[in-house]
Chains A and B, each alone.
Chain A
Amino acid sequence: MRPARETLTLIGHGANERLVSDALSGNRVPQAWLLAGPPGVGKATFAYRMARFLLTGGGAAAGPSLFGDSAPITSLAVNEDHPAVRQIAVGSHPDLLVIEREMDEKRDKMKAAISVDQVREISQFLHLTASQGGWRVVLIDSADEMNVNAANALLKILEEPPKRALLLLVSHTPGRLLPTIRSRCRLLRFAPLLPEEVRIAAEAVLEGEPLDPIALTLSDGAPGRALALADPDTRSVLTDLLALFRQAPKCDPAAVHGFAEKLGKAAADAQYRSFVTQFDAWLMRVIRHSARNGRVPNDLPGEAEAAEAVLRAAGSLDRLIEVWEKNTQLFRQTDGLNLDRKQAVLSALLPLTQRL
C-alpha cells in the first residue's frame, strides 16, 4: 500500500488546491496551516503535496519577495522525476522534517503521544538554514497526538516562525487543539470525497486492484478508511465486533471478556489500534444514519441488526452519543496514561452489550 508521502496524484480537494495555490502566489504566504478533516480523507497526502511543491522549487517567487510579478500558481503538481520527490518519499530530504509518533523500542510499540522533545527538534531544524536555500517544511502528522507540553512548545514556534519556513499541522479533531494553536494557523478543511473519488483514490493505491464495494460503502468518503476496510485483518475486527453487537443487550459476558482479552494482549497492538478506529467510526455511522432517517443500512452483513441491538442496549440515541463521546475520551486516556487496554475495551463495550 502506498503511503501519503508517495502519493503524487490528487483526487478531490480541488478547492483546497486552488486556495493553497492562491496563497502561495501572494506576497505574504501564511506560514502555518491546519489541515483538518476526518481520518483517511487525504490530509497528510495533501500536506506532502504542498511540501513536495515547495521543495522542488515551486513557489520560488512566493514569500516576502521583491518581485511580485511572477505568474500565479495554478497547481501544486510536480515533475515526478525531480530527485526531491524520491527523497521526500523515503524521508531523506534535508529541508523537510516530519514529526509523527515514534516507536518505543523498549516496548516494541508506537508511543502514545508526540513528545516535547520531538517538538524541540522542530526548533533545532528551523534554527538552521535551508540546505537547498529555499523553503523549510515541517509536517506534524497528527497534531492531535501532541501532549500538553509538546503543544505549548509548538505554540512558541508558531508565534514567530522564521522566514521561508512552513508548518503543516494535520488534525482529525481540530476542536481539541489549543485554541491559540488554531488561531495561529490558516485553516484548510477537508470534506469527505464522493464515492467515485474514493474509489479512484483507493484504487490508485491498490495499484489496479479493484476496491471491495463494501469497503467503499463503509468508507464515508475517506479513501484511507476504504483502504483500511479493504484489508482483511481490519475487516475481521469490524465483523467480529458486529457479531458481538448483534447479541446486545444480552451478550454472553464470557464472550465480551474474551473479545477484550484478545485485544488487550501486548502482541495485539495493531488489532487494538484498528479496533479503536473501527469502533469509533462505526458508532459514528450508526449515530449519523439514525439521526438522519432512523435506519442504518445493511451494508455489511447483519449491520442493521447490530445497530438496532446497540441502540436498544444504550436506551436511546442521545445516550448512544454520550457513550460514544465517553469512549473516545477513554481510549485517549488509555494511550496517554498507559492504562490497561483490556479494561478499556471492556468499559467501552459493556454499556453497549448489556442492559445495566
Chain B
Amino acid sequence: MTASSLQLPLALGFRPALGEEDFLITPCNALAVAWIDRWPDWSASALVLNGPAGAGKSHLASVWAQRSGATRARPGVSVDLDALVPQGARLLIDLHAESHPEPAAEAPWFHLLNLLRERKGQALIVAREPAARWPVRLPDLASRLAALPQVEISPPDDALLSALLVKHLADLGASLDPAVLRYLLPRIERSFAAIAGLATELNQAALSAQKPITLALARKVLQEPDDAGKRE
C-alpha cells in the first residue's frame, strides 16, 4: 500500500478486426495469400495451411470462408459425414491449438477426404504443423494427407512484426507512437505469440497508469533501465 500499490485495469477490448482489409500481407505470408487468392483453382480437394501460433492462419482462413461461403467443420466419430459433405461442399477445418487429429478421428478424416473428392468439394485445413508430418497411424490417411498441397506462413519479418503490434494494439483500443515502435522493434522476441503478449502488456500498463504508451512506459514493460533506448 506504498509506492508499490498498483491499480489493476479492466480488460477493455474490441472484437478483433478479422475482415479482409485487416489482413496484413508481407513476404512471410504472401505465398499463403496467393493460394487463397487463387481459389477455387487449387488442383486438389483440400489445401493445408500451416504456421506458428498467432501467424494469422485463422484470420486468413476466415477471409477465405467469407469468400467461398464455407462452413466450419470438424471430422469426428459422432459427426454425420454424409450430411457434412454435400455435393460441392466448402469446408473450413481449423485445428486451432490441437496439433493433429486424435486417433479415433482418423477414420472419419480419411472418409471425409474421400467424400470431398467424390463430391467435388473443397476444404481448407488449418493447423500448426504440415499435415504430412502429423503422426497419423492409419496408412491410407497418411498417404492422402501427404498428397495434399500445403502452404506455410513463415515466422514474422520486421515489417510484419511492427504492423502486427500496431494492429493488436488497435484491437485493444490503444495507439502506438512511431518513436516507441522504433524503440520496441529491435528488443522484442520474433514470434507471433510474443507480439500479441507484448501488445496486451503495453495496453494494460497504459490503462493502469491512464496514460498513452510512452517510451518510458515501454521501457518499464520491457523492464529495461530508464536510460535504455536514449540513443534512439
Contacts and interface: CB of A to CB of B under 8 A. Distances in A.
Interface string B171-190: 00001011100000000000
A156 B178 CA distance: 7
A152 B175 CA distance: 14
Interface string B153-195: 0000000000000000000000101110000000000000000
A152 B178 CA distance: 8
A239 B142 CA distance: 90
A155 interface: yes
A213 B157 CA distance: 61
A162 B177 CA distance: 17
Nearest to A153: B177
A155 B176 CA distance: 12
Contacts of A155: 178
Interface in A145-196: 152, 155-156
Nearest to A149: B179
Contacts of A156: 175, 177-178
Range for the number of chain A residues in contact with chain B: under 10
A156 B175 CA distance: 9
Interface in B116-152: none
Contacts of A152: 177-179
Nearest to A160: B170
Contacts of B178: 152, 155-156
Contacts of B177: 152, 156
Nearest to A180: B178
A156 B177 CA distance: 7
Contacts of B175: 156
A68 B169 CA distance: 33
Contacts of B179: 152
A155 B177 CA distance: 10
A155 B178 CA distance: 8
A155 B179 CA distance: 11
A209 to B, nearest CB: 49
A263 to B, nearest CB: 38
A152 B181 CA distance: 13
A15 B178 CA distance: 36
Interface in A118-166: 152, 155-156
B138 to A, nearest CB: 49
A75 to B, nearest CB: 32
Interface in B172-221: 175, 177-179
Interface in B48-70: none
Nearest to B177: A156
Interface string B75-111: 0000000000000000000000000000000000000
A152 B182 CA distance: 13
Nearest to B170: A160
A156 B169 CA distance: 14
A152 B177 CA distance: 9
B69 to A, nearest CB: 21
A156 B180 CA distance: 12
A315 B175 CA distance: 54
A183 B58 CA distance: 32
A156 B174 CA distance: 13
Nearest to B175: A156
A152 B176 CA distance: 12
A156 B166 CA distance: 11
A147 to B, nearest CB: 15
A227 to B, nearest CB: 39
A152 B179 CA distance: 9
B32 to A, nearest CB: 25
A155 B175 CA distance: 13
Interface string A198-217: 00000000000000000000
B120 to A, nearest CB: 35
B223 to A, nearest CB: 26
7 contacts: A152-B177, A152-B178, A152-B179, A155-B178, A156-B175, A156-B177, A156-B178
Interface of A: 152, 155-156
The 3 closest A-B pairs by CB, nearest first: A155-B178, A152-B178, A156-B178
